[in-house]
Structure 1
Amino acid sequence: MLTNISTWDILIILFYFGIILWIAKWASGGKGGSGAAADYFLAGKDQGWLVVGASLFASNIGSEIILGVSGAGARANMPMANFEILAALVLILLGWVFVPFYLRTGVYTMPEFLEKRYSRACRNYLSIVSILAYVITKISLIIFAGALVFETIGVPFWTGAIVTVLATGFYTVLGGLKAVIYTDMVQAVILLLGTIAVTLFGIHQLGGWDGLISTLDMAANTEGNPPTERFFNLWRPMTDTEYPWTGMLFGAPILGVWYWCTDQYIVQRTLSAKDVSNARKGALFAGYLKLLPVFIFFIPGVIAYALMQKGEINFALENADQALPAMITNFLPMGLKGLAIAGLLAALMSSLSSAFNSSSTLLTMDFYKQYRPNASDKNLVRFGQLATVVLVIVSLGWIPFMKTLMGGGIFHYLQSVQAYISPPIAAVFLFGLFYKWINAKGAIVALWSGFFLGILRLVTEFMVKEGILMVDEGTLFAAFLDINFLHFALFLFVFCALVLALVSKTGQPKSDEELKLVTFQKKEGKPSKGRSRDMILTIVLIVLVLILWAVFSPWGLAG
C-alpha cells in the first residue's frame, strides 16, 4: 500500500513509465531494429553531444548515488560530495585525452582497446574483472538501493525490485544502447526537475538559506550536533580517517580516471558519438551537470536534517540514507511528490539499463565474437539480447540474498572491490597513451600485481573488522591496513606505474606502425574553431570547480 501518495502522484509516475517505454519502442523501431551490431551496441555511432552528455550523467546518477550523497548531507559529511565535483575535472580528461583514441580505433569495448595497445591477455583481464564487478557489485547495489526507495514510499521491497528489473531489462533488450541513451536523456531531465523541486521547496519551508543556517546553528548549540561549518566544508585535515584532503586531491582522481575514462559502463556512451567533437562536447556537458549534485542531492540531505530538527520530518539519523525519500514522501505536496519519485526511479533505471547494456556488450564483443569471429551482425545482436536476458534473470535470483548481505558487512567490502582494483587499470591506460615504450609484458604484470595487492587489502580488511583475523598493533601489516583507502589508491597507482615502467624496460615495445592509433603523435597546425570553443568551455568548467572548492571551505561558507 502506497503511503501518502495521491492519485495525481500515481498518475505522474505511470506517465513517466509510459514515456520511457514509448521511447524504447521508438528506438528499437529505428536503427536499433536494423540488426547492425554498431546500431545495437553503439546506437549507430551518430549521436550528438546533448544525448551523449545527458546519458553520461544519467548513467552515473543512480539511486545509490542519490541516497548516499543526500545521506551524507544529513550526516554533515560534505567531503563525500567532492567525488561529484572531481568528476567534472576527470570528464575533461575523458573528452580531451581518451575519447580521440577510442573513436579513432573504432573499438566497441575498453578491453578491445587494451588488446590493440598491449595484448590479448590484457584484454581478457579487463573483460573478466569488469563483468564480475558489474554483476556482483554494481547491478546488485543499484537494485538494492532502488528497492529501498520503493520501501520508503510504501511498496514492498520484493515488488519494487522485481518491477524495476523487469521494466528496465525489457527496454534494454528491446533497443540496445540507442534505447538506453535516449531514455537516459529523458530520465536526466526528470531527475533534475524532481530533485530541484525538492531542494527549492525545502529551502522555502525553512525560510530561505538564512533559515536553514539558523536551524543548523540552533541544533548545534542545543544538542551538541556538528556545527554549521561541519555541514558545508569539503576539506578535512590530512589525518582524517575518512576523507583527508590529500586523499581527495591525489587519490580520488585515480578512481575517477578508471571510472570515467576506462570503464565500459561509462565510456560506451562516448563511443556512440558521431565524431570526436560531439563526444568531447558531451563529456564537457556531463562535467557541468556533475556540479549539480552538491545542490540537488547533498543540500536536500542537509535540509532534511534541519526539517527533522524542527519536527517536520520523521526519520532516524542512523538511517540517514533515506533522508531524500523520507523528505519526498512525508513533506512534499501532491503532484510534486509524484514528480520527485519519478526522478528517483529515473536515476535507478538509467543506471541499471547502462549496467545491463555494458555487460552484454562485453560478453558479446570480448567473448562471443572471439569464439565466433565470423558471426554476423544479426547473430551478435541476438547474443547481446540473450546476454541481457540472462543478466536480468541473474539479478532477480540475487535479490533474496541482498537484504542479508546489506544487513552485514560483506556487501560493503564487495563494493570496495571497485576502489581496490581501479589503480592498476588507470595506470595501464594512462601511461600507455603517453609512452610508446610501455609494452604488454609490463602491462600484464602491473595489472596482476596491482590486483593482488588490492585484493589482499580488501580481504584482510574484511577479516580483521569481522574478527576473523587478529593483527598486532604497531606491525607493518597493521600499518598497511590503517592506510586511508584514498591514500591507498594513490600508493597502489604509484606502485603499478613503477612496475609498469620497470618490467617494460625488460621487453620490446610494439612497432611505431602498431602504436600509431593508440598513442600520442605529434600534430601540426592550428586548432579548429570547434576546438577553440571547447577549450573555452573547459576553462569555464575548471573555474566553476575552483569556485565551489573555495565557497565550501573553511574560508567560504563554512567560515
Structure 2
Amino acid sequence: MKILDTFDWISIALYFLLLLGIAVWVIRKKKENTEDYFLAGRNIGWFVVGASIFASNIGSEHVVGLAGTGASDKLPLLIYEIQAWVVLILGWVFLPFYARSGVFTMPEFLEKRFDARSRWVLSIFSIAAYVLTKISVTIYAGGVVVSALLGIDFWTGAIATVILTGIYTVLGGMRAVVYTETLQAVLLILGATVLTFIGLDKVGGWESMTKTLTPEYFNMWRPATDPDFPWPSLLITSTIVGIWYWCTDQYIVQRALTAKNIKEGRRGTIFGAVLKLLPVFLFLIPGIITLTLKMRGELHWDSPDEAFPILMSNLLPSGLRGLVAAGLLAALMSSLASVFNSCSTLFTVDIYKKLKPNTPEKKLVRTGQVATVIVVVIGIIWIPIMANISGVLYEYLQSVQAYIAPPITAVFLMGIFHKRVNATGAFATLVMGIVIAFFRITLELIKGNFDPNSFLYKLGDMNFLSFGAWFFLFCILFIIVVSLLSPAPSREKVVNLTFGTITAEEKLKNKNSYNWVDISISIIIIIIVIGVMVFFNGN
C-alpha cells in the first residue's frame, strides 16, 4: 500500500470543505417540522432522488465487498448488483400505493393496510435489523477502507467517520442527507470510473484478463447442484431480497417519498435504476483486475476485502488517489447518514409518536435528533463485534438478508396484490418469520453440536439461498391460509391500497404521471440487465 501524499490530502480536504458547505447551507434552510426533517419537506426533484437512492445503496460495504467478490470465486453474488430492474418495480408498482397513502414510513403503510400490530412489529424489527446488517457492516467496511487509505488504525478511522457523519445527519435531517448524497454519488462514480479504465489498461485489456483467469471464472450461473450458489435458488432468493430492500425497506423508499409528486418520485427511481447499472463496471471489475494482478505476481493482499483499496493506492497517480479516497469516504458517509436518518424516522414516527400522539412538531424533531445520536453510539459499540467477522463481507450481508427478507416481502406483496389478505395474516406472518429467521441464524452458529444426520443439523447447514427460497414460499402460503381462516378486511383497509380496488380518478392521476420517455428508459434498463446476465455465463 502506498501512503497518500500532499496532493492526495489536498483533494480530500477540498471534498470535506464542499461537503461542509452543503451541510451548512441545508442546516440554515431547514424548518422545525417533521415533514422537513424526515422527508426534506417532500420537495425534492428526480435527479436528487435518484442520486440519493444510488448513494444510499452504494456504501463502503459494496465498494469493499463487491470488489472482494470480484477478487474471489464468488462471482454469482454479482446477481445482487444487477437489480436495476427491481428498482423499477419500486417506481412503477409500489410507489403509487405509498404516495396515495401519504405515509412517512413503511410500518405506517402496514398500519393503513392492516393494523397497528404489524406496524409495531416491523418498526422494532427494522431498527434491530439495521443495527445487525447496515450499521455494523458499513462501519466495519468503513474502518477497513479508512485505515488502509489514510494509514491510521482501524478504530480511529471508524469512530471519526461515524461521528462526523452523525453530526450533519443530526443537525440537517433528511435534506442534508439527500443533498450531500448527490455530491457523494457524483464523486464516487467519477473516481471508480477512472480506476476501472486505468486498471484495465494496466492488465492489458479485457482479453488479456480473461486469458489469465480462464472463462470458467466469469460464469455467474452455477449448476443447480452447486453446494454454494445453485442457480435456481440464487435467482429466486436474490429477487426476494431485492424486492424487500428496494421496494419495502425504509432505508431506500424514504428517498422516493421525499419527491415533490409521484411523477418526480417515479423518475427518481428510474434514474436510480440507471445508476444501479454502474456498480458492475465500477467495483466488480476492479476486483477482477486486482485478482489478475495478484495471479501475475504484480500485487499482493491477504483478504479479498482489501482488493479495492490496494488497487487504488498502487495504480492511481498522486492527487487522483486522494480524489478516489474521498469517493470511498463519501460512500461510507452516505450509507451511514441514510441509515442514521431512517432509524431516527422509524423510532420517532412509528414508536414515539404512537406512544405520545399529541407531541408538538418541534419536540418530535428533537426526539429524532436524540434517536440519531443513540444510533451513532450503538454503531460505535458494534465495531469490535464486527471486527471479528471473517470471510467475504458481501456474502455475510447477503446470507443475513436471505433470512430477514422473505416474511416482509411476502406481507407487502400479498398486501398489495391480494385484497383478501388481512391484518391477522400479516401480523402472524411477520412474527412467525422473525422467529424462524433468528432460529436459522442460531442453528447456523451452533450446528456443529448436532449429529450430522439430524434434522436440526440439516436445517442449519442448508444452503442460505435455498433456505431463503423455500422460506418465502412458506410465508406466502402461511399468510394466505391464516387470512382465509379469519374475517375479511374492511373496505377502507383495501380501497386504493390494493390492486383491483383503485378508483377511476386515481388510475387517471397515475396514468398522467408518466410518458413514453419513462417507459422507453425502463425497457432499455431491463435489456441491459439481461445482457449482463448473458455476458457472465462463462462462455
TM-score (norm 1): 0.91
Report 1:159-558 matches (<5 A).
Answer: 159-214=156-211, 216=212, 227-316=213-302, 319-403=303-387, 405-406=388-389, 416-464=399-447, 467=448, 469-473=449-453, 475-520=454-499, 521-522=501-502, 523=504, 527-528=511-512, 530-553=514-537, 558=538
State yes or no: 1:151 paired with 2:147: yes
Q: Residue 471 of structure 1 aligns to which amino acid in structure 2?
A: D
Aligned to 1:222: none
State yes or no: 1:115 paired with 2:111: yes
Aligned to 1:15: 14
* Superposed CA offset, 1:449-497 (max 9, x none): 2222222221111101xx3x22332x44344334321221111111111
Query: Could you say if the C-alpha distance between residues 544 and 409 of structure 1 is closer, same or farther in structure 2, counting changes exceeding 3 Å?
Result: closer
Secondary structure of the residue aligned to 1:360 is helix
Query: Could you say if the C-alpha distance between residues 409 and 539 of structure 1 is closer, same or farther in structure 2, counting changes exceeding 3 Å?
Result: closer
Could you tell me how far 1:183 is from its partner in structure 2? 0.7
- Where does structure 2 lack aligned partners over 5 or more consecutive residues? none
User: Of residues 93, 98, 110 in structure 1, which corresponds to 2:94?
Assistant: 98
Q: Is the 8 A contact 2:43 2:259 kept in 1?
A: yes
Could you tell me how far 1:529 is from its partner in structure 2? 7.5
Could you tell me how far 1:278 is from its partner in structure 2? 1.2
Identity among equivalent positions (%) equals 47
CA distance in 1, matches of 2:22, 2:193: 24
Report 1:132-147 matches (<5 A).
Answer: 132-147=128-143
Query: Could you say if the C-alpha distance between residues 259 and 408 of structure 1 is closer, same or farther in structure 2, counting changes exceeding 3 Å?
Result: closer
CA distance in 1, matches of 2:396, 2:48: 34
User: Of residues 60, 63, 67 in structure 1, which corresponds to 2:64?
Assistant: 67
Q: Is the 8 A contact 1:173 1:389 kept in 2?
A: yes
Q: Is the 8 A contact 1:440 1:509 kept in 2?
A: no
Report the more deviating stretch, 234-243 or 307-316. Answer: 307-316
Q: Is the 8 A contact 2:49 2:268 kept in 1?
A: yes
CA distance in 1, matches of 2:188, 2:465: 30
Secondary structure of the residue aligned to 2:310 is helix
Could you tell me how far 1:100 is from its partner in structure 2? 0.8
- Where does structure 1 lack aligned partners over 5 or more consecutive residues? 217-226
Q: Residue 533 of structure 1 aligns to which amino acid in structure 2?
A: V
CA distance in 2, matches of 1:89, 1:187: 23
CA distance in 1, matches of 2:103, 2:74: 40
Query: Could you say if the C-alpha distance between residues 411 and 399 of structure 1 is closer, same or farther in structure 2, counting changes exceeding 3 Å?
Result: farther
Report 1:27-106 matches (<5 A).
Answer: 27-30=26-29, 33-85=30-82, 87-106=83-102
Could you tell me how far 1:411 is from its partner in structure 2? 12
Q: Residue 532 of structure 1 aligns to which amino acid in structure 2?
A: W
Could you tell me how far 1:3 is from its partner in structure 2? 4.6
Question: Stretches of 4+ moved more than 6 A in 1?
Answer: 408-415
Q: Is the 8 A contact 1:25 1:174 kept in 2?
A: no
Could you tell me how far 1:422 is from its partner in structure 2? 1.2
Could you tell me how far 1:290 is from its partner in structure 2? 1.4
Secondary structure of the residue aligned to 2:492 is coil
Secondary structure of the residue aligned to 1:75 is coil
Q: How many aligned residue pairs are there?
A: 533
Could you tell me how far 1:416 is from its partner in structure 2? 4.3
Could you tell me how far 1:357 is from its partner in structure 2? 0.3
Report the more deviating stretch, 303-312 or 537-546. Answer: 303-312
Q: Residue 540 of structure 1 aligns to which amino acid in structure 2?
A: I
Query: Could you say if the C-alpha distance between residues 171 and 6 of structure 1 is closer, same or farther in structure 2, counting changes exceeding 3 Å?
Result: same
CA distance in 2, matches of 1:401, 1:476: 30
Report the more deviating stretch, 360-369 or 515-524. Answer: 515-524
Q: Is the 8 A contact 2:54 2:272 kept in 1?
A: yes
Secondary structure of the residue aligned to 2:428 is helix
Could you tell me how far 1:548 is from its partner in structure 2? 1.1
Could you tell me how far 1:407 is from its partner in structure 2? 5.2
Q: Residue 20 of structure 1 aligns to which amino acid in structure 2?
A: L
CA distance in 2, matches of 1:19, 1:445: 49
Q: Is the 8 A contact 1:4 1:330 kept in 2?
A: no
Secondary structure of the residue aligned to 1:530 is coil
CA distance in 1, matches of 2:409, 2:80: 17
Query: Could you say if the C-alpha distance between residues 400 and 209 of structure 1 is closer, same or farther in structure 2, counting changes exceeding 3 Å?
Result: closer
Secondary structure of the residue aligned to 1:508 is coil
Q: Is the 8 A contact 1:312 1:331 kept in 2?
A: no
Q: Residue 373 of structure 2 aligns to which amino acid in structure 1?
A: V
CA distance in 2, matches of 1:92, 1:236: 27
Q: Is the 8 A contact 1:360 1:385 kept in 2?
A: yes
TM-score (norm 2): 0.95
* Superposed CA offset, 1:98-154 (max 9, x none): 111111111111111111111111001101111111123321111111010122121
Report the more deviating stretch, 20-29 or 518-527. Answer: 518-527
Q: Is the 8 A contact 1:137 1:415 kept in 2?
A: no
CA distance in 1, matches of 2:73, 2:355: 52
CA distance in 2, matches of 1:529, 1:187: 29
Q: Is the 8 A contact 2:170 2:372 kept in 1?
A: yes
Query: Could you say if the C-alpha distance between residues 77 and 421 of structure 1 is closer, same or farther in structure 2, counting changes exceeding 3 Å?
Result: closer
* Superposed CA offset, 1:22-53 (max 9, x none): 111111111xx210210110011011111111
CA distance in 1, matches of 2:178, 2:115: 31
